[in-house]
Amino acid sequence: MARRASTKQTINFAAFDSPGARVIDTPLHEEVQKSYGEYGYSVITARALPDARDGLKPSQRRIMFAMEQMGLRPQGRYVKSSRVVGEVMGKFHPHGDASIYDTMVRMAQEFQQNTPLIDGHGAWGTLDDGAAASRYTECRLAEVATLLVDGSDEETVDFKPTYDASGLEPEVLPAAFPNVLVNGADGIAVGMSTNMIPHNLGEVIAATRWLVTHPSAGLDKLMEFVPGPDLPTGAILLGLDAVRMAYESGRGVVRIRARVEIGPLEGSRGRQAITITEFPYGIGPVKVIEAIQRQTADKRLQGIADVKTLTDMTTDGERMVIECKAGVNPQALLADLYRVTPMEVSFGINNNVLVNGKPQVLGLKALLEVFLDHRFEVVTRRTRYRLRKARERRHLVEGMLIGLDNIDKVVQIIRSSGDTAQAKARLVSELTGVHVSLGGKRLTRSLDEVQAAHILDMPLRRLVNLEVESLRAEWAQLTEQVARLQAILDDDGLLRKVVSDELAAVAKAHAGPRLTSLIDGDLKQVLAASAPAGPLEVSDDPCQVVLSATGLLARTAAASEEVTETGRRRSVRTKHDVIAAVVHCTARGQVLLLTSQGRAVKTDVLTLPTLPGQAGVVSLRGGVAALEIVTGLRAGERVMGLAPLGDGLPGGSAGVALGTRSGQVKLTRPEWPVRAEVFDVIGLADGDEVIGTAWLHDTHDTLVFISSDGQVLRFDAGNVRPQGLSGTGVAGISLAPNAHAVWFGAVRSEDTTHGEPQVVVSTGTQVKVTPLAHYPAKGRGTGGVATLRYLSGMNTTIQVAWTGTRPIGCTRSGDAVGLPEPDPRRGGSGIVVTGPDLLGHQIERE
């Protein structure tokens, strides 16, 4: 049977013929365990993990301390980065120059840290490219970095020997703000790692200050100040439930999503583009492009025509445009991009830090408490140092004043002494119990050896009266300073106030706005809710675009679900809001949005959400605000109506009719500019605006004006001569002084398929519905017919009005409001209302 090999290794020093040599037997597993344990401990404590107090790893701390010692302050000049690397490597950090410079690069990059600690000059890299070599870049300490190192020369922190014992280095920096949370950290040690996410400086300081005065504050209260991480690259963070878990336990996983803008591709009719304006933390355009190319080659990603990088570090920063193929739903494509590319990534939070030299995983409150304990100690030690220095200086000033108040005797002693030692001894012995003026009082003092030595070193210029008064003022100032510093040491509340005030000063000087948007809720639910429905490829089927009274835009899924604003076709029932305008189009086509300032804006139908619902029941809550579709709206400009665009317009289409606040009416033919995306459709006088638009099927439609003083005017559209786009229109309704037009639109009065057209007017206190047929047609440019008898004490100005068949009202929040039964009397008073105001109308018919 084979003999088992021994597990012991023998080190025989006798083999070297040394006198008194002895044999030491060490088990191999013990030696390996000991050596590896020492190595692991060294990596954990001296390389990979940040200290919870200043948020720095040893390499970062040594770089900052070295730059401070070199005088590379923010007000000074830049120096070559290689010079700093050499200084750090030679005096403090016994590792390679490459690792030191890599650390410096991260500390200087704005997309890595919320508050970069190094002010870099030169090519310090981008999200995709590394920095230039150290010989090509320059650096100095950033302004915020001084808040971490200031005070290290005031005995605020302990020092230890450097690696070669040739000097001293701080064990930790004083740190005037919680850098460990603000800038985050990452590192891989032996058997453990750290991955801390950055936060907003102002929010972290606000939470820290609250904890100063409320030490028992709970996590929920602290999260009122720090709702979530804030990344230097902005973007969107999903699932605050996971954030709270990380704040509570120190570990958690969050999802970071790129911020995008979806809009029409410039110069390409009907095609859409997805523009990435903010990338996830640590992700650049190159990584996204590589993933898109790989996924496209594997057929896992379709619908992309081209990808372009528009990165410009001087203006827009990192930007990338993804061009969609014709007919591709950009929302569906975006969902695929989030799923298979780094446009959405996970960040595993692991708050593993050193506390008293030992690794610990801490939550938000524990991290703030460790920092505050450190800051209290720093301020206490700094106060003791300054108190000692103030007392020492006051003692010397007091000695000089004793000598100056007894100058004749001092001069006589010095001149009659044989040497300096004798003079100092005589000054101490003979200037005992002498008088001196201090703080406005005549006091008795005695000189000691320290003061005597300082008097002997005192220059003769101190004898002038101005210098004497200056010394007395300095003594008084030092006395006040001593009392103030002693009060801080004696009163814990005062100490906490000093710490809080200093934190407030840091926030005031360096805090910036939040960059990252936060989406609350459970991560899985948020991801499910944000996944858009619908196919990637959208066929060019007929549909309708709908504008609601509250300004929402949407499209129907198919032509079978027809809606109307005037009752010309079958309409679907709605659960929210009311319809103000409808046009027929196709899913890949475009429509015109007509604004209150007389402009027309071309908009792609594909970008509009589809009306949710089924079986003829839809909800306009699924629409998108028109203000989000129309970019570049002027102040106060609103979307008032719709018009079709493109080929296949209904036969006999007369064009668009527009009515203005001053009573002008204009009819323009559908001959729109081909290339212009925005153009004028009416020339408006100063102060005038469009109050209504209508797409006319033919010139037999009836145009209706309703004025603020309750006048209703109807006339045939054939009375309006069509004009070009620059025309200002013709007189529509003649208005009384101080009156203005409230509503303008068109109805087909001879078509009663869906009921008789009704006129609805509301003053806010009275509402009245009257059949339009009861108002005689009149000529264009004339006055209207009165429609409301105002009640005593009621408002006498029409605020909301419209005309249509089977009208339904809604509030400004989109909730439906019932209207009174029609009143056949033109001069009736309607009904008195006290409920919500009315807005818009809808034709509702099954």
Rounded to whole angstroms, how far apart are CA atoms 158 and 174? 10
Q: Is 136 a catalytic residue?
A: yes
Catalytic residue among 136, 247, 281, 775: 136
Cα angle: 390, vertex 392, 394; to 5 degrees: 65
Contact 550, 622 (CB under 8 A): no
Query: Which positions ≥6 away from 329 have C-beta within 8 Å?
Result: 532, 534, 535, 536, 537, 538, 606
CA gyration radius, the chain:
40
Strand partners, 741: 707
Count of Cβ atoms closer than 10 Å to residue 806 Cβ? 17
Count of Cβ atoms closer than 10 Å to residue 436 Cβ? 22
Count of Cβ atoms closer than 10 Å to residue 47 Cβ? 17
- How far is CA 750 from each of CA 582, 701, 753, 805, rounded to the nearest angstrom? 20, 9, 9, 12
Contact 244, 227 (CB under 8 A): no
Closest by alpha carbon to 638, among 805, 844, 840? 840
**Starting at the edge strand that comes first in sequence, how are the strands of the sheet with 785-786 ordered?**
741-747, 702-707, 711-716, 785-786
Residue 464 region, left (φ>0) first, then alpha (ψ -120 to 50), else beta? Answer: beta
Rounded to whole angstroms, how far apart are CA atoms 767 and 831? 5
For the chain, counts of helices (H) and of strands (E): 19, 46
Beta strands 599-604; 730-731: pairing state: unpaired
Contact 41, 64 (CB under 8 A): no
Residue 813 region, left (φ>0) first, then alpha (ψ -120 to 50), else beta? Answer: alpha
Contact 64, 173 (CB under 8 A): yes
Catalytic positions are 136
